[in-house]
Amino acid sequence: MFHRPLAFASMLLLTAGGDAAPRGGPDADGRASAAPAPSPVLAAMQQELARSMETLKSRPLPAYFLSYEINDRRSVTVQGAFGTINTSGAYRSRSLGVDLRVGSSRFDNTHQIRGGMPSFDAGERFTFAQVPIDNEVSAIRRVLWYQTDNKYKRAVERYTRAKANAQVRVAAEDSSADFSFEPAVSASDPLVDVTLDRRAWEAKIRRYTAPFARTDDIYDGEAVLTAEHETRWYVNSDGSALQTSSVLYRLVISASAKAADGMVLPRYESFLASTAAGLPDDAAVLQAVSRMITDLRALKVAPVVDAITVPAILSGRASGVFFHEVFGHRVEGHRQKVETEGQTFKKMLGVKVLPDAFSVYFDPTLKRLGNVELAGYYLYDDEGVKARRINVVENGVFRNFLMSRSPIAGFDHSNGHGRAAPGFAPVARQSNLVVASTMAVSHDSLKKMLIGLIKEQRKPYGLIFDDIEGGFTITQRTIPNAFNVLPVMVYRIFPDGREELVRGVDLVGTPLTVFSRVVAADNVTRVFNGVCGAESGGVPVSASSPAILISQVEVQRKDKSQEQAPILPVPRVQP
């Protein structure tokens, strides 16, 4: 999902949850206890944290901050293809993350080491250890003790290197502190006890994938149901103590076909809910499967679009991914301090970046938008900071960055967006992105505006990006600061209003150029739920937007396989 050879690349993928299903009633599969019981895990963490801080304060280079995070993850997965079951099972693990800082909040062991080859400083940024799933305090404390000792030794070594580096390099453009102190928080969710009827879901997965087996030209026709339950305990030396518990159900249907020229044609349908009852019923899923088969057969014979610049409409889901890649990653606070980053919007506070009617905000406290649940929901971030809504663009004017506990010039504190996958060090990351417009028109009116632009620009056609699988972006300076959105269903629309399905299209460009050409939006907001991969691992996010009209986009031909379609026919076994 995430690759970083020389420059940072972010990828947003649908395959962990696309449009969410309406939420159902009480879930027969899950039960929550009436009141949270005292947690021996949290107690073990608090005891060892206090002991470690007391000991490390007396070292020549003392620790000034320490936090522990333990994630207890239980997952149930049922995966099948072509009417059969390939995998069915349950898994549980506990993992530990440690953040230990030496020096001072002004300059500590996380300080950027500038120059030389790019490096993740993996030993500093990643602390992953297995923790016993039994609530045995002595065993848990032993893991905490050993990992804290290792982390302290690495922190001291890196602090020394960072100090030496700062002395021989030019002065940093941003001299902000390395860490911010935030108010202590305390919360305790009831522990969620979730079970899944795997036998019933095995029957459903067979039913959902059976239609793919009745085709001759569709490959990888599969469905995956995953129920993921996470309990998270977090403590830090500020005095914070958190116990949170959540569950997500994801149903992903995927299939692909191959055109005569070798191009692989994917198609996805994905659903997310916080209860099993919130997932769509069998009839709705089978209708989606039927639509996928129809789309794939049409894509096989659809014409390929060559590289061109034309006006276009991005559907709400496509627009959400577009804003996530083009804008969202470039307003993550820590990127404004790293001098290898492009820092596209660093000097644009108070500057108009979108039309007056457009606003953009991030709200991790938003659990649903309309009847759709959002993947980026949380109440406390991974640095123990209370989540809150952040208005980033107000009436077209850029106002704010997403902040972790790593300050930047003009922004001394976190706003609840320090996020990470288990074991990774948190950085500023996106949550629930929402694009809003006060001058929305109907979709038919938006399409008429598109046709008007086609004629005005004397273009042979425009494009409508209807559905999408994800996208990625590069934000650093060493490689072109660009983005790539990966559509799966694209139509070209001609000046006379006729529409034609096409294939082989990638939406590419550079941020400021394409942002300057946003014209209008329709009046229906759609949601894209997914997982975003970046330097702090994969985190669940959502991107919600109305369809938008852009006066000019650039597309390039999609990469394609050089392999032929299968030579042998599909086997037909007589019953």
What is the three-state SS of 48-76?
HHHHHHHHHCCCCCCEEEEEEEEEEEEEE
Query: Does 258 lie in the same domain as 110?
Result: yes
Q: Does residue 1 form part of some domain? A: no
**pLDDT per residue over 43-77, tens digit each?**
999 999 999 999 999 999 999 999 999 999 999 99
Domain holding 527, by residue range, is 308-557
Burial of 2 (0-12, 13-18, 19+ CB in 10 A): middle
Q: Does residue 424 form part of some domain? A: yes
Q: Does residue 277 form part of some domain? A: yes
pTM as predicted: 0.89
User: Any idea which of 66-80, 459-473, 477-491, 492-506 has the lowest mean pLDDT?
Assistant: 477-491
Reduced to 3 states, what is the DSSP secondary structure of residue 148? Answer: helix
Show which of 243, 267, 300 is a domain's final residue: 300
Burial of 253 (0-12, 13-18, 19+ CB in 10 A): buried
Cα separation, 541 vs 321, in Å, equals 10
CATH code of the domain containing 76: 3.30.2290.10
Q: Does residue 200 form part of some domain? A: yes
What residues pair up with 412 in beta bridges, in sequence order? none
Query: Does 261 lie in the same domain as 183?
Result: yes
Residue with the bigger pLDDT between 360 and 343: it is 360
Show which of 248, 265, 300 is a domain's final residue: 300
Query: Does 223 lie in the same domain as 183?
Result: yes
Reported in sequence order, the residue ranges of 276-381 that DSSP labels E, i.e. its strands, are 308-314, 358-362, 368-369, 372-373
Q: For position 23, what pLDDT does the model report?
A: 30
How high is the mean pLDDT of the chain?
Answer: 88
Reduced to 3 states, what is the DSSP secondary structure of residue 198? Answer: helix
Query: Does 266 lie in the same domain as 169?
Result: yes
Q: Does residue 553 form part of some domain? A: yes
- Mention every residue, 6+ apart, whose C-beta is less than 8 A from residue 457: 310, 311, 551, 552
Residue with the bigger pLDDT between 434 and 1: it is 434
Give me the number of domains the chain comprises.
2
Question: Which of 391, 360, 392 lies closest to 525, judged by CA?
Answer: 360
Query: Does 409 lie in the same domain as 393?
Result: yes
What residues pair up with 252 in beta bridges, in sequence order? 224, 270
Show which of 243, 269, 300 is a domain's final residue: 300
Query: Does 61 lie in the same domain as 187?
Result: yes
What residues pair up with 386 in beta bridges, in sequence order? 380
Q: Does residue 329 form part of some domain? A: yes
Mean pLDDT of 155-169: 92
Query: Does 250 lie in the same domain as 350?
Result: no
Query: Does 363 lie in the same domain as 239?
Result: no
Q: Does residue 563 form part of some domain? A: no
What residues pair up with 246 in beta bridges, in sequence order? 230
Query: Does 66 lie in the same domain as 197?
Result: yes
What residues pair up with 527 in beta bridges, in sequence order? 544
Q: For position 213, what pLDDT does the model report?
A: 94
Residue 324 · residue 486 · CB < 8 Å = no
Q: For position 430, what pLDDT does the model report?
A: 97
Q: Does residue 2 form part of some domain? A: no
Query: Does 238 lie in the same domain as 278?
Result: yes
Q: Which two tokens stand for residue 335?
A: 């990127």
Query: Does 331 lie in the same domain as 427?
Result: yes
Q: For position 26, what pLDDT does the model report?
A: 33
| Rounded alpha-carbon distances, angstroms, from residue 228 to 175, 213, 250, 428 | 41, 28, 8, 24
Q: What are phi and psi of 308, to 5 degrees?
A: -165, 160
Query: Does 314 lie in the same domain as 225?
Result: no
**Pairing verdict, β 308-314 and 537-557:** antiparallel
